[in-house]
Amino acid sequence: MLAAFPIQGGLSGIRHRSDAADIKINRSQLEILLLLINVAGAVALLLWSVRMVRTGFERAKGDELRAAIRRSAGGRIKAAFMGTSVALLLQSSTAVAVLAAGFAATDVISVGQGIALLLGADLGSAVVAQILSFNVQGFIPVLLIIGGLLFFKGRTGYVRQMGRIVLGIGMILISLQLLSEATIPLKDSAFLVDVMHYLDTDLVTSFLIGIMVTWLLHSSVASVLLIATLVAQAVVPFGAALGYVLGANLGSGVIAYMLTREQGAKGRRIPTANLLFRLLMAGVVLFVLPTLVLPQPASVTEAASWVVYAHVGFNAVLLVVCLPLTGFMESLTRLLIPDEELIKEGADALSEPRSALDRSVIHTPQLALASASRECLRMADVINIMFTPIMRLYEKTDPAATARILDLEQQVNRMHSSIKLYVADIDDRHLSEQDKRQKLALINFAVNLESVGDVIAKNLLQLAYTKHRECLTFSAQGWEELIELHKQVITNMHLAFNTLVSGNLAFARRLVEEKDRLRHLEQQSNEQHYQRLQSGTPASIETSNIHLETIRSLRQINSLFAAVAYPLLSQSGDLLDSRLAKVTPVTQ
């Protein structure tokens, strides 16, 4: 019996040590999980904050920024400077790339000017990263207080958006502080030290990681700030960070390229050219960098600063070297992405009789309504193809494109009739109140689209024909006003389509607000046109009727799109029954 005690104690000791080891392993796993959560949360806040600043500027100064880009058509140096300025405000070269691609697709700016604009925007985005990398953590409370006061107490939308911007900057600084604190434990990871030592000697791998992370974050500013913070914490070595920054710059070009794939040929050439420039420059640096003996920073703080300097320097050199080559790159991208006929691709894709109206489900109301919705969206695609290039026909005659638009207008008429008859055959007895409202909304949407087709074919095409027949030319300011109105109607058109599909009340409210904004733009354009008439501007006098009729047609089209929002807002109680002020009845 006595001999049994030591054995029993030994088993108990082994079990105790095993339990302690399990607890240690579980604790280690929990720490890793918490570390990942903290880092992911800090990165998410960083991305949201950068987006918050960008949307604040877009909402406060969006029209002015778009107008500034259009005015950059005066030369490529001016375009590059404008791109830098706009990117500094929007904190995103990608946003500038999307705007430039859209303007190039509608011939507001040339492809060469768009390439110069994007080269400047890349430098502006890099300067943003440099500014945000400065140690100004002490200003966080001040920024939050000022931003909060402006946002919550501002009496105008402009003041509130300024508050959003200031709050966003403060939150960027908070996110960087959180990221710095969250990554402190990484310095003690032996495994990570080995990985980073390998990346420090393998530029290509760190370069590829930079591309991948920047693509995932969809923001070169956030990506560079992330790597600078990790360098400052001695988590990532300086050599690996340089390769990462090169990858981040190429990743930025990939983002812009992917986001503009649906643009026309001219729009796609700008991000393609920018991507080619970045690929060539990054390749040269990757080849040359291992042959150089680089000075080593004295501290991790200095190393983090040098990483951001390298990012700014890369984009500055890219701008200086590539700006004179924009003409050559414009010609090269024209070979890579040939001009397509004005609306041939979209028209061919939609001209085949592949109706979404399925007669086999006509007795199943929900399926029938879904079928009708798909056909309405198909009809909307045809309208989009008719309307988007219409202003280009004001600039240049194209009999083939005009004939196709007229053919598409006939197709719209047939689709309208088919939708109307199909929806009428859906039995109301098996429909809920919501389904009945959807049924009526689909019929009204089809009717409005058919009316839009009529305005395009019978009004705008005829006005373009008259302009060319009489050899008239708009004044520069008048043409800019028409282009701006046309682009705003295109934006509202897409918003209307999204509202129909989603039934989103926020979209519906925004659509009505945009309708009011376009009405103000129309009034402003009319006033400026009358001022030009009074000043005796010859071009304005000659094109007055065409100018005013075009504005009226664009407003009519916009109103037809905005009508999608009213049933939703009426149902939710967000729409007043009348705009008329209530007055006391007059008694006799």
The rounded distance, in Å, linking the Cα atoms of 235 and 192 is 8
Q: What is the pLDDT of residue 470?
A: 80
Distance of alpha carbon 555 from alpha carbon 564, whole angstroms: 15
CA–CA dist 131, 134 (Å, integer): 6
Measuring CA to CA, which residue among 384, 391, 545, 385 is closest to residue 481? 391
Rounded CA separation 552/460 (Å)? 10
Enumerate the domain spans of the chain.
27-336, 344-572
- Residue carrying the six token digits 């859906």: 426
Using CB atoms within 10 Å of the CB of residue 474, give its burial: 0 to 12 exposed, 13 to 18 middle, 19+ buried.
Answer: buried
Domain 344-572 carries which CATH code? 1.20.58.220
Q: With CA atoms as reference, report the closest residue to 211 among 196, 227, 195, 189.
A: 227
> What is the separation of C-alpha 134 from the centre of its chain, rounded to a whole number of angstroms?
27
**What per-residue confidence (pLDDT) applies to 19?**
55
HSE-up of 424 (CA within 13 Å, CB side)?
8
Distance in angstroms (rounded) separating the CA atoms of residues 115 and 79: 9
pLDDT value at position 576?
A: 60
Radius of gyration of the chain (CA): 30
So what's the pLDDT on residue 190? 67
Residue 330, CA distances (Å) to 78, 308, 312 in order: 17, 30, 25
**What is the pLDDT, as a whole number, of residue 211?**
92
Residue 346: what residue type? G
How far apart (Å, rounded) are the C-alpha atoms in residues 315 and 449? 46
Look up residue 296 and give its DSSP letter. Answer: P
The pLDDT of residue 21 is 52
At residue 4, the pLDDT reads 45
Low-confidence ranges of the chain (pLDDT < 50): 1-9, 11, 342-352, 580, 583, 586-588
Q: Which amino acid is at 17?
A: R
Beta-carbon count within 10 A of 309 CB: 14
Please give the model's pTM, rounded to 2 decimal places.
Answer: 0.56
Residue 7 has what pLDDT? 45
Contacts of residue 542, Cβ cutoff 8 Å, sequence gap at least 6: 470, 472, 473
Structure tokens at 465: 């024909």
